[in-house]
Amino acid sequence: MNAKAAASAVSTQNVAATAAPSRQSLEAERSNWRIIILILATVAIWIGFHIWTGVFISPRNLSNLAVQAAITAVIAAGLCWLLVAREIDLSVGSLLAMCGVLCMLLMQKAGLGAYPTILIVLLVGVGVGLLQGGFRVTLGIPSFIITLAGFSWLRGLAYVLSGAETLSGAGDTFYDIANGEFPVTTSLVIILVLAAIHLYGWVRAYTGLLGPQRYDLRAVNLVILALSLCAAGLSIWVFATRSGIPYPLAFLALVVFVMEYASRHTRFGRYVYAIGGNPTSAKRAGIKVDRTILALFGLMGALTAVAATIQTSRLDAGPPNVGLFVNLSALSAAIIGGTSLFGGEGRVLGTVIGALLMASITNGLSLAGVDTFYQMIITGGLLIVAVSADHAAQRRPR
């Protein structure tokens, strides 16, 4: 069976799954409940830190938190798809540093403008991703080993390019990429339009008032609607009272939308999950497994380059030692968000919420004056808990 036939077969299965209750629909409902629990846990953490610090739940801090989480979430989104396909990338922190250094070099030493620099750095990120993916698919070396080597040589390259010095001062245009915001009025319009579109789609899908009812109305759908409206109200309070929506948050929203849509409605997205479920069966069905894995590594490199651009702009500097713990944070976000280390399961939306939870803990502990070393202990403990829960879930019969 060729790739086109395989995609048609998968599409037929999806139609059948929509027409009648099945294990697939139950898996989707279980995934939604997991995201809901994750959101409620994040809210509980916010309340706890606000009681502790008195300033956590404020427009200023939540706006800063959104930008902090966006950097990790962009990387974690790419890592989510790699984990779904039973791959991993341990070099993202080092690539982040190398791309950040390259940004500053191109603008300060080569005299390039902000936008040509971003384009070059993006191409370099994609190139590094394709290089590592190429070693993975041509030599058959596990991605763990390939990217572990990348963790070393990319960090060394960052130090070589920078001369072990921190380069700073890129100019206002580049600085505004991470520190700029949409006007308050524009932000309010964006939030209200997105909320209206979501409400329209929900009513049409679950009630039949605006067209044929496509899905059964269940408790999980009502809870998601309530949480979505609460999120819209919170966004209005945060981004329409003090300042507008930060540019990094808008880009993250675009990444989430595109990747969530692709995972549900495109052939490539279905291939990623098919490979993670059973690579051998996927290859026998005609899916180009190696080509898909190569594309995933290229996407991972691109997203890391974008995160590096945001990070460098936010700091207005390109230190070669930045991103030392990004690997841990992104991996924790993906696993906490429901991505399985065993492949075949995970959602970008859950991963982003996991990144928000991780950033909330770091932000809250910093506001409370907790030492960085204790923050590392807590982060490592959370990762152990998340991996243990994932392992237990895989062993539980379904």
Determine the Cα–Cα distance for residues 3 and 209; give it in Å rounded to an integer.
38
Question: Angle 23-53/219-239 helices, nearest 10 degrees?
Answer: 40
What 3-state DSSP class applies to 191?
helix
Q: Domain spanning 3-15+31-48+55-174+266-309+317-395 has what CATH number?
A: 1.10.3470
Tens digits of pLDDT across the chain (398 residues): 333 434 444 443 443 333 333 344 677 778 888 889 889 989 999 999 999 999 999 999 999 999 999 999 999 999 999 999 999 999 999 999 999 999 999 998 888 899 999 999 999 999 999 999 999 999 999 999 999 999 999 999 999 999 988 888 878 889 999 999 999 999 999 999 999 998 988 888 888 777 777 777 888 889 998 999 999 999 999 998 778 999 999 999 999 999 999 998 899 999 999 999 888 888 898 899 999 999 999 999 999 999 999 999 999 998 999 988 898 889 989 988 889 888 888 899 999 999 999 899 989 999 988 888 887 887 777 777 766 765 665 565 55
Q: Where are the domains of the chain?
A: 3-15+31-48+55-174+266-309+317-395
What 3-state DSSP class applies to 167?
strand
Q: Evaluate if pTM is beyond 0.85.
A: yes
Determine the Cα–Cα distance for residues 134 and 62; give it in Å rounded to an integer.
40
- The answer for residues whose C-beta is within 8 angstroms of residue 285's C-beta and 6 or more apart is 1, 6, 9, 274
Tokens of 69: 């989480």
